[in-house]
Amino acid sequence: MSTRVLIVGATSAIAEALARRYAAQGATLFLAARHTERAAAIADDLRVRGAAMVEVGAYDATVPDRAEALVAAAWEALGGLDVALIAHGSLPDQAACAASAALTRRELEVNLISVIDLLTPLASRMQAAGCGTLAVIGSVAGDRGRQSNYVYGTAKGALAIFLQGLAHRLAPAGVRVLTIKPGFVDTPMTAAFPKGPLWASPDRVARDIQRAIARGTHICYTPWFWRWIMLVIRLIPAAIFHRTQL
Amino acid sequence: MAALTPYQSWGRYPRALPAGVRSLRFRDQPLPRVAGSVLPFGNGRSYGDSCLNNGGTLLATRGLDRFLAFDPATGLIRCEAGVLLSEILSLTVGGGWFLPVTPGTRYVTVGGAIANDVHGKNHHLAGTFGHQVIRLELLRSSGERLRCGPTERADLFAATIGGLGLTGLITWAEFRLKRIANPYVQVERTRFDHLDGFFELALGADREHEYTVAWIDCLASGRHLGRGIYLAGNHAAPTCEDAPRPPGRAPSIPFDPPLSLIATPTLRAFNEIFYRKQPRRPTNGVEHFAPFFYPLDGIGQWNRIYGPKGFLQYQSVVPMSAGRDATRAMLACIAGSGQGSFLSVLKVFGDRPAAGLLSFPRPGVTLALDFPYKGRATLRLFETLDTLVAQAGGAIYPAKDAHMSPRLFAAGYPRVDEFRRHLDPAFSSSFWRRVTGAVA
């Protein structure tokens, strides 16, 4: 039977690259996105690339109370789920957030609360089914709070702790939880930047994610070297860290 | 000199610095509102400045890389303009479908293939890429999305085929692939000792073979002038056995050498060996399609071997009546200069009427070579070649040009005034300003 995949935030470059990899293997997919027209363009492409079936659903992370209905729609359309990838998010303007508690709250809602809203019903359904993988795109930014983007880092860091607990809870049921921590990704949005060796393509990141899902790992730094970069960054004593501009 | 950005042309000469780069990712996006002109930029395989917009904005189209539809029963394919030809081949070759026309590299976008109206080794039978296009959508700076094709807004379509990205942004295109039985090509290689040998072979082989092209030793002179190897191929029959394995992962030139690795003695030796390696008698064998169609794709970033100064390509076409003499004169001139390229290419174009107003291919014989950029020496050689091309009533290929004069452009492209009516007012390129004297 073909793999049944739900992707939330399906128009992001990493999500699209992963969807293409599953499509090439003949998967059935449910794409949830705010821009349904763009998700439909991606769905056409995935069908040409070999997907057995692709459905599209509307989902807006800034509108509360939609998560339950979305999960139910995807579950029903695909007849259950083997993989759910949560890929939506926004990159906050840290300076603006520093000046506005309301904006900070909104960013936390999009990057943290909306994800938990989705994970809760997904976890229950997968727990009952006794199988499945919950894969969530976090960030290396969640490994240590830094002056340049700690609101984003807070959301991703809290999410990592939530996922850790969820993984613990779901392990006996045979449900896997994967936290993905990408570094710099060369998406069309960053096309004009000169790329150093730390930059990875969305497809490279997607390959790592697919492999981590297949292997059942819990944490996936992608590319791999970010695990060691972040280890060093976490170990720097605050007295020294505070003198940096990171 | 402008800093190296990822947005250089393949020849890396001339350098140009765009004021900005806007990446397009979805075909429903409007064109970005920017001051100054815009120009679509695909995968940067144009050699000169037709893909550059110095001081203007580039619209990076590689994010538009989706298929809209593909019918494996009929071979009809519709895809976004940023899809690479290599991506189409990966999807369709296994199912028995091949590109109807392909240039010598598969790393060009569909939009680029249309905007430069590229040709391949089957021009004498199939015409150009533009001849294959059934429909496309053009996004104009006015916000209009115009569908055009051979029978729908045919005049705008003819301007867009070979239109160098100046008539608007191609968002998607539809064309038909051709049936193949397997990924192999039956290739006949024949050595010829001088230019007349080429013309004899071309007249015979072009009738029997779908794909024909010749590699020539551009440094040979005297009675060896124009010696080379004639390649003639057809897609292999369904019964083809002893099929070769597809080539493995391509090696790549990993960094920029501080100077050009192309020196005259190495070139001379390479060309001599390349020529001698080929047996006197014609050989016939089965090859995987990749090395046959895309010999240079086998080395990633091969443009780096020319060093930081880059290189120029010179591709001309001259009518058949003057073809033999003009080609002989050009080759003599190049051999005498001691400058030249690893792979010089000679081919006879068919006589199908051009698909686009500014299409380069036309009946006659086409010669293509690349030259390391050596400043004035190179430009002086080009001026001499230009004179020969102009006298023969020929033209230079914009996709590979970085030097031609406005006068030579006007002479080679007599329909340019007709083309001008379809220009999008917001679109321009370094090439266009250079050959027309237009202001940015």
Neighbours of B261 (CB within 10 A): 12
Write out chain B residues lying below 8 Å of A41, CB-based.
Answer: 26-28, 66, 68
Q: Residues B189-210: pLDDT tens digits?
A: 999 999 999 999 998 877 789 9
Give the span between the Cα atoms of A65 and B327, in whole angstroms: 74
Mean pLDDT score across all residues of chain A: 95
pLDDT at A237 over 90: yes
- Position A193 scores a pLDDT of 67
pLDDT at residue B232 is higher than 60 = yes
What's the confidence (pLDDT) of residue B282? 85
pLDDT value, residue B243: 66
Distance from CA of B307 to the nearest CA of A (A): 20
How much is the average pLDDT of B428-439?
A: 91
B interface residues, A as partner, C-beta within 8 Å: 5-6, 20-21, 23-28, 60, 62-63, 66-70, 91
Check A44 against B66: CB less than 8 A apart: yes
Cα distance from B91 to chain A (closest Cα, Å)? 7
Domain that holds residue B287: 184-401
Size of interface A-B (CB pairs under 8 A): 49
Please enumerate in sequence order all residues whose Cβ is within 8 A of that of B415, keeping only pairs 6 or more positions apart, or say none. Answer: B357, B358
The three-state secondary structure class of B74 is coil
Residue B140, C-beta contacts closer than 8 angstroms, at least 6 positions apart:
B146, B168, B169, B424
Using a cut of 0.90, tell me whether the model's pTM lies above it: yes
Question: Smallest Cα–Cα separation from B328: which of B195, B171, B238?
Answer: B195
Q: What percent of chain B has pLDDT over 70?
A: 93
**Residues B330, B391, B376, B302, CA torsion sign:** negative
Q: Which pLDDT value is given to residue A188?
A: 59
* Residue in B69, B65, B68, B57 with CA at minimum distance from that of residue B85: B65
Indicate whether B414 belongs to any domain: no
Tell me what the mean pLDDT of segment A157-183 comes to: 97
How many residues are given for chain A? 246
User: In the annotation, is A152 catalytic?
Assistant: yes
Question: Which residues in chain B are closer than 8 Å to A188, comparing Cβ atoms?
Answer: 23-25, 60, 62-63
Residue B166, in any domain of the structure: no
Domain boundaries, chain A: 4-242
Contact B392, B322 (CB under 8 A): yes
What 8-state DSSP symbol labels residue B81? T
Token pair, residue B121, equals 């080794």
Range with lowest mean pLDDT among B145-149, B256-260, B423-427: B256-260
A86 closest CA partner among A28, A127, A33, A40: A33
Classify residue A215 as exposed, middle or buried by CB count within 10 Å of its CB (0-12, 13-18, 19+): exposed
The pLDDT-based confidence of B4 (bands split at 50, 70, 90) is very low
Q: Per-residue confidence at B2, pLDDT binned at 50, 70, 90? A: very low
The candidate with the shortest Cα–Cα distance to B41, out of B24, B27, B29, is B24
**Span of A42-56, A207-221, B123-137, B340-354 with lowest mean pLDDT:** B340-354
Does residue B264 or residue B197 have the better pLDDT? B197
User: Residue B20: its chain A contacts at CB < 8 A?
Assistant: 192
- The enclosing domain of B366 has a CATH number of 3.30.70.2520
Catalytic residue chosen out of the listed positions A22, A59, A150, A152: A152
Residue B257 lies in a domain: yes
Check if the beta carbon of residue B48 is closer than 8 Å to that of residue B360: no
Q: What percent of chain A has pLDDT over 90?
A: 90
Question: pLDDT tens-digit profile of B360-372?
Answer: 999 999 999 988 8
| Distance, CA of B260 to CA of B243 (rounded, Å) | 38
Which amino acid would we find at residue B117?
A: D
Q: Are strands A176-182 and B145-148 parallel, antiparallel or unpaired?
A: unpaired
Residue A170: what pLDDT?
98
Say what percent of chain B tops pLDDT 90: 72
Alpha-carbon distances of A35 from A85, B29, B193, rounded to whole Å: 17, 11, 63
**Contact list, B23 vs chain A (CB under 8 Å):** 188-189, 191-192
Contacts of A191 in chain B (CB under 8 A): 6, 21, 23, 60, 62-63
When scoring A48, A54, A189, A195 by the number of chain B Cβ atoms within 10 A, the one with the most, hence best to mutate, is A48
The number of distinct structural domains making up chain B is 1
Contacts of B26 in chain A (CB under 8 A): 11, 35, 38, 41
Cβ neighbours of B322 (radius 10 Å): 18
Residue B251's alpha-carbon distances to B179, B262, B342, in angstroms, are 30, 19, 18
Cβ contact B177:B92 at 8 Å: yes
Q: Do A41 and B24 touch (CB under 8 A)?
A: no
B71: enclosing H helix or E strand: strand B67-71
> Residue A32 in 3-state DSSP?
strand
Given strand B228-235, what is the order of strands in its sheet? Answer: B283-288, B184-192, B228-235, B211-216, B344-349, B364-372, B311-318, B395-396
Q: Decide: residue B94, CB within 10 A, 0-12 exposed, 13-18 middle, 19+ buried.
A: exposed
The predicted model gives B150-177 an average pLDDT of: 98
State yes or no: pLDDT of B246 exceeds 80: no
Q: Name the minimum distance, in Å, from the CA of B84 to any CA of chain A.
A: 14
With b meaning 16 or more CB within 10 Å and e meaning fewer, what string describes B421-439? Answer: ebbbebbbbbbbbbbeeee
CA-CA distance, B121 to B295, in Å (whole number)? 13
Q: Which of B353, B405, B382 is nearest to B117 (CA)?
A: B353
Q: Choose among A41, A189, A194: nearest Cβ to B66.
A: A41
Tokens of residue B25, six digits = 């990712």
- Strand ranges across the sheet with B76-80: B67-71, B76-80, B169-176, B133-139, B145-148
Which residues of chain B are within 8 Å of residue A48 when distances are taken between CB atoms? 67-70, 91
Say how far apart CA B6 and CA B276 lie, in whole Å. 39
Say which amino acid occupies A228: W
Give the closest residue to B117 by CA, choosing from B175, B163, B174: B163
Contact (CB, 8 A) for B136 and B145: no
Contact, A13 vs A92, CB < 8 A? Answer: no
- Tokens standing for residue A232: 């060093």
Helix axes A13-24, A36-48, angle to 10 degrees: 30
Mean pLDDT value of segment B168-182:
97
Distance CA A180, CA B356 (A): 49
Chosen from A34, A45, A199, A203 to mutate, greatest number of chain B CBs within 10 A: A45
Secondary structure of residue B73 in the 3-state scheme:
coil
Average pLDDT over residues B295-302: 82
What does the pLDDT look like over B24-74, one tens digit per residue? 999 999 999 999 999 999 999 999 999 999 999 999 999 999 999 999 999
Distance, in Å, from the CA atom of B97 to the CA atom of B107, rounded to the nearest integer, reads: 18
Phi, psi (deg, nearest 5) at residue A142: -80, -5
Place of tokens 């299409």: B359
Compare CB distances from B69 to A44, A188, A192 and report the shortest one's residue.
A44
Location of structure tokens 């949560």: A86
ipTM of the complex: 0.92
DSSP letters of B136-188? Answer: EEEE-TTS-EEEEBTTBSHHHHHHHTT-TT-S-EEEEEEEE-EE-SSSEEEEE
**C-alpha closest to that of B327 among B318, B335, B336:** B318
Percent of chain A with pLDDT over 70: 98
User: Is residue B114 exposed (0-12), middle (13-18) or buried (19+ Cβ within 10 Å)?
Assistant: buried
Give me the pLDDT at residue B302, please: 82
Contact state of A37 with B28 under an 8 Å Cβ cutoff: yes
CA A162 to chain centre: 14
Q: Measure in Å the smallest separation between the Cα of B211 and chain A Cα atoms.
A: 29
pLDDT of residue B1: 31
Handedness of CA B324, B330, B333, B337 (dihedral sign): negative
Distance from CA of A142 to the nearest CA of B (A): 28
CB contact under 8 A, B6 and A45: no
Instruction: Look over chain B and give the mean of its residue pLDDT values, rounded to a whole number.
Output: 91
In a domain, B268, yes or no: yes
Return the pLDDT at B274: 72
Q: Which of B17, B66, B87, B109 is most worth mutating to test chain A (most A CB atoms within 10 A of its CB)?
A: B66
B25 with A189: Cβ contact below 8 A: yes
Residue B34, in any domain of the structure: no
In Å, how far is B246's CA from the nearest CA of chain A?
20
Is residue B313 in a domain?
yes
Which of these ranges, A24-38, A227-241, B75-89, has the smallest mean pLDDT? Answer: A227-241
pLDDT value of residue B249: 67
* Beta carbons within 10 angstroms of residue A184's beta carbon: 16
What residue of A is the nearest CA neighbor of B172? Answer: A41
Q: What per-residue confidence (pLDDT) applies to B242? A: 64
Q: Please state which of the ranges A235-244, B98-107, B111-120, B340-349 shows the lowest mean pLDDT.
A: B340-349
Q: How many of the other CB atoms lie within 10 Å of CB of B30? A: 10
Question: Mean per-residue pLDDT for B79-108?
Answer: 97
Whether residue B14 has a cis bond before it, omega within 30° of 0:
yes
What does the DSSP 8-state code read for residue B39?
E
Residue range A4-242 forms a domain whose CATH class is alpha beta
